[in-house]
Structure 1
Amino acid sequence: MTSPRIAGAPISWGVCEVPGWGHQLAPEVVLPQMRAAGLTATEFGPDGFLPDPPAAKAKVLAEHGLAAVGGFVPAVLHEAAVDPLPDVDRAIDGFRAAGAELLVLAAATGRSGYDGRPELDAGQWSVLLGNLDRLAAHAAGRGMTAVLHPHVGTLVETRADVDRILSGSGVPLCLDTGHLLVGGTDPRTLSREAAGRVAHTHLKDVDGALAERVLAGALPYSTAVARGLFRPLGRGDADIAGILGDLAAARYTGWYVLEQDVMLPAAPEDEGPLADVRASVDFLREHLGRR
Structure 2
Amino acid sequence: MVAGQQASARDRIAGAPISWGVCEVPNWGYQMPAERVLADMQSLGLRATEFGPDGFLPDAPADKATLLRSYGLQGVGGFLPVVLHDPGHDPIGEVDVFADACLASGAGVIVLAAITGLDGYDVRPTLDELQWKTLLGNLDRIAAHAAGRGLLAVIHPHMGTMVEGATDVQRVLDGSQIGLCVDTGHLVAAGADPVAITVANPSRVKHVHLKDVDAARAARVVAGEISFSDAVADGMWTVLGEGSVDVRAMIDALEGSGYQGWYVLEQDLMLRDGEPGGEGPIADVRRCLAFVEKALS
Bucket of the pairwise TM-score, normalised by the shorter protein: over 0.9
Is residue 125 of structure 2 the alignment partner of residue 121 of structure 1?
Answer: no
| Mapped partners of 2:39, 2:175: distance in 1 | 42
Is residue 286 of structure 2 the alignment partner of residue 278 of structure 1?
Answer: yes
Aligned partner (choices 20, 40, 48) of residue 41 of structure 1 = 48
Is residue 197 of structure 2 the alignment partner of residue 190 of structure 1?
Answer: yes
Residue 3 of structure 1 aligns to a residue whose secondary structure is helix
Spell out structure 1 runs of 4+ moving beyond 4 A: none
| Mapped partners of 2:217, 2:279: distance in 1 | 25
Count of residues in Structure 1 that have an aligned counterpart in Structure 2: 289
Residue 35 of structure 2 aligns to a residue whose secondary structure is helix
Tell me which moved more, 117-126 or 88-97.
88-97
Output the amino acid matched with 1:151. H
Output the amino acid matched with 2:295. H
CA contact (8 A) 2:74 2:105 kept: no
Q: 2:33 — aligned with what?
A: 26
Q: Which runs of 5+ in 1 are unaligned?
A: none
Aligned partner (choices 129, 140, 149) of residue 147 of structure 2 = 140
Tell me which moved more, 185-194 or 111-120.
185-194
| Mapped partners of 2:124, 2:229: distance in 1 | 14
CA contact (8 A) 2:209 2:266 kept: yes
Is residue 93 of structure 2 the alignment partner of residue 89 of structure 1?
Answer: no
Residue 181 of structure 2 aligns to a residue whose secondary structure is strand
TM-score (normalizing by structure 2):
0.95
Aligned partner (choices 146, 152, 157) of residue 164 of structure 2 = 157
**CA deviation vs aligned residue, 1:234-272 (integer Å, no higher than 9, x gap):** 111100000001001110000000011000121012111
CA contact (8 A) 2:83 2:116 kept: yes
| Mapped partners of 1:217, 1:180: distance in 2 | 17
Shift of 1:191: 2.1
CA contact (8 A) 2:180 2:206 kept: yes
Shift of 1:38: 2.1
TM-score (normalizing by structure 1):
0.97
Output the amino acid matched with 1:283. F
Shift of 1:195: 2.3
CA contact (8 A) 2:108 2:151 kept: yes
Output the amino acid matched with 2:97. R
1:3-82 to 2 correspondence within 5 Å? 3-4=8-9, 5-82=12-89
| Mapped partners of 1:153, 1:76: distance in 2 | 13
Q: Which runs of 5+ in 2 are unaligned?
A: none
Is residue 243 of structure 2 the alignment partner of residue 202 of structure 1?
Answer: no
| Mapped partners of 2:248, 2:201: distance in 1 | 17
Output the amino acid matched with 1:287. A
**CA deviation vs aligned residue, 1:125-166 (integer Å, no higher than 9, x gap):** 001000100000010010000000001111001211111001
Output the amino acid matched with 1:195. P
Tell me which moved more, 214-223 or 128-137.
214-223
Output the amino acid matched with 1:206. V
Is residue 277 of structure 2 the alignment partner of residue 269 of structure 1?
Answer: yes
| Mapped partners of 2:266, 2:281: distance in 1 | 11
Shift of 1:204: 0.9
| Mapped partners of 1:117, 1:84: distance in 2 | 20
| Mapped partners of 2:173, 2:191: distance in 1 | 16
